Amino acid sequence: MKKSFLPLLLAFILVLSGCVNTKSKVGNEEKSNEGNKSANTSKPAIEILGMSTSEDDMNIVRDQLIKNGFDVKLNIQPDYGSFTAQKDAGNFDLALSSWTTVTGNPDYAVRALFKTGGDNSIMSDEEVDKLIDQAATETPDQFTGTYKKFEDRLVFDKAYIVPLYNSFKAQGVNKDIVNADTVRLAKSRAVAWETIDFNDQSKRDKDPLIVQQAIGTLTSLDPIKGNDGSINTLNTNMYVRLVNLTDDDVVTSDGSLSLNHSIADGNSDYYFLLRDDINFAKINDKKAVDSGERVGADDVVFSLNRAKDKDSVPDHRTYSLHEHIKDAEVVTDLSQLDSVKQSGGNGTIREALENGLDAKIKELVADKNDANNKEGKYQVVKVTTTEPFPQVLNYLAHQSAGIVSKKQVESINTYDVASFDPAKDIPYGDQNTVTEGDQYNNHLYASGPYILSYKNDYEAVFYKNPAYMKGTNFEPRISQVTVRFIENPDSSLSALRNGEIYLFNGVPETKYDLVEGDGKLVLQKNKSNAVSYLLFNTSNREVAKSEDLRKAVLYSINQEEFINFYQGNKMKASSTVSPLVQTGNELVADSAKVKEYLAKYQDSKK
């Protein structure tokens, strides 16, 4: 996504004879990782890495580079599966990449991708780091100028990436079976299953809702151990969070663990009033049952503390999203809510948390089992940030901030993190424990509307959490959701049109007309936070060493050609923050600049 379009950095790989090759072979030619000079010409050689599903984009980039004096090789791979190994081996000059800001805030659009040490970053630039951290402390009316400086540095001054376009978000719905009005298409967050309903409501407990996703190998069902297209939607529906995002990226308590939330004056303390009508679900005999354990403040504190601690689990992939959390604690002193003012000075925290409640706050309790909202007994959690950081709320809406069971996770994760052995240690959320076969031993505890029962190579089966907000508007409508693993978009569209799936999130722009022309389907379309771009190799190629060479590539790219190819269903982008912050920057193709920078590069090689 991630989130969403998947909050996701795509770099792609070449696997030969079952292992990573430290040399790249394209067509009948071979060149080493150090080679940027073709054996047959003085033109700089550029190798572009991508998947077959992105071959159209690769061809457009190739043609534009060739026209501007480059010798281009395409390294087209059939799937996503092993991209990390090839990327780590450095077998590319440019990797066709994509990112979706699934939290609706610009910090997420840059921190993991471009900050030194970021979860998905392969670059290091002190000025970029400084600007990212500065913007994080600022409010929207302040950070526009800072993000402009960031974008200037990232793209136009140093040419670390080449922006291609901003995408729309579209999904096809079988309106003959599913009530399309109940299907949300949010700008950022993943598809929420709990609101979806059949036209014939008598089917709720008899028929599954059948949806699709491309990737069947799941990174982890522990929400902090993955942030990619394999699990973003699944974990979003399996774990409740302190807050959510509306379809237009506004932070809300609706449908979350919080009845209300409020920011304290100073923008460093955040208060959350918890609801008491969610229990964890577990799996018995492949069916969802109520575990009898309430989701409460101790689980929230445990979940957030492990989310921010990079050493809490092996292979922690989301800690940088939560590094601004200094502390999470249970508030039991009611007078604190009366003495602390809301941000901006408009009343007390207590007044904000009591807004719209049927029963006002009479008592704050430490034990989750003592909470009784109808009697005015509540739990409150306070989150404190390392510095003023309003964007923390967007991160708390991300799937990686999903609330897990303290009791259950601690009972599973008994290994020593420092000496973790994947050959014998089984961590919470390991996909093998939910995969049919000898290793199946489902230990999941789900705080969200659905829980994964089992999966295989073909599909994953989820069941409704029987103890999730019962009797409210957020209780799941449909009892079973089946997720079919269909990697190819054309195959997914065919399955939608044939009635094999009822919802296809991610309809390609070139296929909109097929959905719109099918009488039983409806196309839902919205602007998205998804940006496609070219990522330069920053370690072992000439493009890593030469800023001039990178800028020559940058100014070879004409975004209008992508927009025309996609029949107007793409938008211009200057970086991954383009859908979120209007910086005023624009990449304009300039052949004169290409010649200038190529000449400088060639002179430096003499």
CA distances from 442 to 286, 427, 432, 485 (A): 8, 12, 9, 20
The alpha carbon of 383 is separated from its chain's Cα centroid by a whole number of angstroms, namely: 22
* pLDDT tens sequence across 149-178: 999 999 999 999 999 999 999 999 999 999
In this structure, CATH architecture of domain 241-430:
Alpha-Beta Complex (3.90)
Q: What is the largest CA-CA distance in the chain?
A: 81
CATH class, domain 15-167+529-604, is: alpha beta
Residues 80, 97 contacting (CB under 8 angstroms): no
Residue linked to tokens 């719209």: 356
Residues 469, 198 contacting (CB under 8 angstroms): no
What is the rounded distance in angstroms from the CA atom of residue 471 to the CA atom of residue 491? 38
Q: Which helix (H) or strand (E) is 308 found in, with range?
A: helix 297-308
Residues 583, 155 contacting (CB under 8 angstroms): no
What is the rounded distance in angstroms from the CA atom of residue 42 to the CA atom of residue 382? 62
- Kindly list the domain boundaries of the chain, sorted by start residue: 15-167+529-604, 241-430
Residue linked to tokens 């999730």: 468
Q: Write down the pTM of the prediction.
A: 0.82
**Total Cβ atoms within 10 A of residue 551:** 23
**Exposed (0-12), middle (13-18) or buried (19+): which is 9, by Cβ within 10 Å?**
buried
Report, as ranges of residue numbers, the positions in the chain whose pLDDT lies below 70: 1-41, 80-81, 83-84
Residues 382, 331 contacting (CB under 8 angstroms): yes
Reading the block at residue 561, the tokens are: 């050609």
pLDDT for res 482: 98
The string of DSSP codes covering 6-28 is: -S-------EETTEE-SEEEETT
* pLDDT tens sequence across 358-413: 999 999 999 999 999 999 999 999 999 999 998 899 999 999 999 999 999 999 99
- Of 157, 176, 20, the C-alpha closest to 550 is 157
